[in-house]
Amino acid sequence: MNKKVVLVVMDGIGKGSGGYGDAVSMANTPTLDMLLRNCPNMYIKAHGTAVGLPSDSDMGNSEVGHNALGCGQIYSQGAKLVNESIESGEIYRSQSWHEIVSNCIKSDSTLHFIGLLSDGNVHSNINHLKSMIARAKEDGVKKIRVHALLDGRDVPALSATTYINDLEAFLAELNGDSFDAMIASGGGRMVVTMDRYQADWDMVRRGWETHVLGEGRRFASATEAIMTYREELNVTDQYLPPFIIEKDGQPAGRIVDGDSVVLFNFRGDRAIEISMAFEYEDFSKFGRRYMPKVVFAGMLQYDGDLLLPKRYLVSPPNIKNTLSELLVKNGIRQFAVSETQKYGHMTYFWNGNRSGKFSEELETYCEVPSDIVPFDERPWMKSAEITDKVIEAIKSGEYGFIRCNYPNGDMVGHTGNLDAAVIAVEAVDLGLARILKAAEEHDAALIVTADHGNADDMILTDLSGKAQPKTAHSLNPVPFIIYDGHKTYRLRQGNFGLANVAPTIVQILGLDIPVMWEESMLDIY
């Protein structure tokens, strides 16, 4: 190996329209502009079929994006995996489904579903939930309760009632003398249950108190809760506080001994912590106060190394032959860094949903702790600290491959705050300038890309023609740029995506591209 490679993933920074609402084009980005003007570059796909999702109408996300970046291959992912399992009926033939259902029948108990209620296809899909409820009734379950986490992030910011109405109409058609299904509790995804990377365990605690203990503000219906909170607090769906639905003067559906519980999110990062709370006997992240003895299952196994959860309905993709594995086999030292919000993407997801390292000797991971503050209040996040760590790694001369993730464009983009997103993009550009200089001084090739778009498309127009913040990922392509102050590269023409990045890195490093990988984007160099 002669050449060293530094990869910068600008999370959530794609190619937008260039108009108002495109925080990337609105930002002052002299470094990114220079790279796009002077260096070999193209825009590549980071959504839909390019990352293993069902169709090109499906937005990409950081998890599938980093899977593709890290393995050079396209695997069926998330919604597509579950879709295939439901369509084939495999999910209902699984041992886990049998155990979930038979427990409810044997104990005459309740089947609970917890998850994100939307069709965003990033964490979940309401159609998966509806399929399982219908099948549970067919299989003999008599009582079902849904704990609905409200989205407003991967779907329009004020769309929760659309999904609530859809689900309630569906349940009404199923309900009868021998079947009782209803929404029991809920809350916004950024307040209740769906924390990730152990950044804010209070979110999970609030979820536990809501779904399990039945503690919280009570309402006659989910719609009443949503409309009341919107009026009182003036917040979007993802930030709505927890709520309990009351029935006959009591919480409609506490989770108690003998029940079955399905976490129907298929994406792992925001499902791991609540799974820990249900499965771990030795648990100290918050006081559970009551630990119900339930049969618990996830839609997928969210962490293959931790075997969490032990019971799951659909097997995750078995990602093999990753870039990290290849580099370890060739004795190349690697350095990976991000702050807490995207640390798992640079490690777990990058390595094919694998928590551990392939080599303790050859791989170094560095996590910069994220601040627990609203991202739009501190849009620069930890970009300076991440940059410092990358430069230290470059200057050390120890590593053949260095990778980092700047979360700013994604995490601030999700807030819907356009002004803050502009600052977030500018903070990334400042870090990029410093890394570029260090890479040139130490004869390293710099590759700049992103895992999906977000900050590039932050305004949408509703049916009334009114502009409102857009908090979801975009369907836009992302940049792929090579900068090298000491060598000339040329890119080929083609319909490339994130899975083509790893082969390109390998070619620059002077290694053979594995036969099962996608092709390199390099023409000659």
| Residues 380, 261 share a domain | no
Residue 524 counted as domain residue: no
Q: How many domains does the chain have?
A: 2
- 62 given a catalytic annotation: yes
Residue 516 counted as domain residue: no
Rounded Cα distance between 413 and 388, Å, is: 24
Residue-level length of the chain: 525
SS3 483: strand
| Model pTM score | 0.79
CA distances to 251, 353, 469 from 248, rounded to whole Å, are 8, 45, 39
| Residues 437, 336 share a domain | yes
| Residues 348, 262 share a domain | no
CA distances to 116, 147, 163, 206 from 188, rounded to whole Å, are 9, 11, 13, 11
State the pairing for strand pair 295-300/312-314: parallel
| Residues 217, 94 share a domain | yes
- Give the end of a domain, one of 287, 314, 341: 314
The sign of the CA dihedral 247, 253, 258, 264 is positive
| Residues 185, 225 share a domain | yes
| Residues 459, 392 share a domain | yes
Rounded Cα distance between 271 and 215, Å, is: 21
| Residues 387, 257 share a domain | no
Rounded Cα distance between 473 and 413, Å, is: 8
Name which of 496, 481, 500 is nearest 36 in CA terms.
Answer: 481
Catalytic, out of 62, 85, 131, 370: 62
Rounded Cα distance between 368 and 390, Å, is: 12
- Give the end of a domain, one of 314, 349, 370: 314
| Residues 88, 68 share a domain | no
| Residues 161, 291 share a domain | yes
| Residues 54, 83 share a domain | no
The domain of 96 spans 79-314
Q: What is the CATH number of the domain that holds 220?
A: 3.40.1450.10
- Is the peptide bond preceding residue 477 cis, with omega within 30 degrees of 0? no
- pLDDT per position in the chain (525 positions), as tens? 578 999 999 999 999 999 999 999 999 999 999 999 999 999 999 999 999 988 898 889 998 999 999 999 999 988 889 999 999 999 999 999 999 999 999 999 999 999 999 999 989 999 999 999 999 999 999 999 999 999 999 999 999 999 999 999 999 999 999 999 999 999 999 999 999 878 899 999 999 999 999 999 999 999 999 999 999 999 999 999 999 999 999 999 999 999 999 999 998 889 999 999 999 999 999 999 999 999 999 999 887 657 899 999 998 788 999 999 999 999 999 999 999 999 999 999 999 988 899 999 999 999 999 999 999 999 999 999 999 999 999 999 999 999 999 999 999 999 999 999 999 999 999 999 999 999 999 999 999 999 999 999 999 876 567 888 888 899 999 999 999 988 889 999 999 999 999 999 999 999 999 999 999 999 965
pLDDT at 69: 98
- Give the end of a domain, one of 263, 286, 314: 314
| Residues 289, 194 share a domain | yes
Which pair of tokens denotes residue 351?
A: 């390595």
Residue 374 counted as domain residue: yes
φ, ψ for residue 405, nearest 5 deg: -130, 125
| Residues 127, 48 share a domain | no
